[in-house]
Amino acid sequence: MAGPEEIYQCQVVNCGCMYDPDRGDRRGRIPKGTCFSELPDDWKCPVCGAGKKMFRPLRGPGSAAEQKS
């Protein structure tokens, strides 16, 4: 079972697009339930084309909320 930090939604810093594991990515053929950490290394944002390294979790370790504290 995935820990909470693995299933958080992630948002790209460039365009604000959010990857939601509950929805997956139809355009990228990523099925629902795929954790962000399980996305292929070459997966890109469907809106702006940013790579995985440009995404930040909305909650948990490394999130913007944590950095503001």
Helices (H), the chain: 4-7, 64-68
Given this model, what pLDDT does residue 43 score?
A: 94
**Residue range 4-68 in CATH 2.20.28.10:** yes
Cα gap 50→55, rounded to integer Å: 8
Give the residue among 22, 19, 21 at the shortest CA–CA distance from 47. 19
pLDDT at 4: 47
Residue 48 clears pLDDT 50, i.e. is over it: yes
Q: What does DSSP assign to residue 25?
A: B
**pLDDT tens per residue across span 13-46:** 888 898 999 999 999 999 999 998 899 999 999 9
Average pLDDT, the chain: 80
In sequence order, the 6+-apart residues with CB closer than 8 A to the CB of 14 are 45, 48, 50, 54
Residue of higher predicted confidence among 1 and 41: 41
Is the confidence at residue 69, as pLDDT, over 60? no
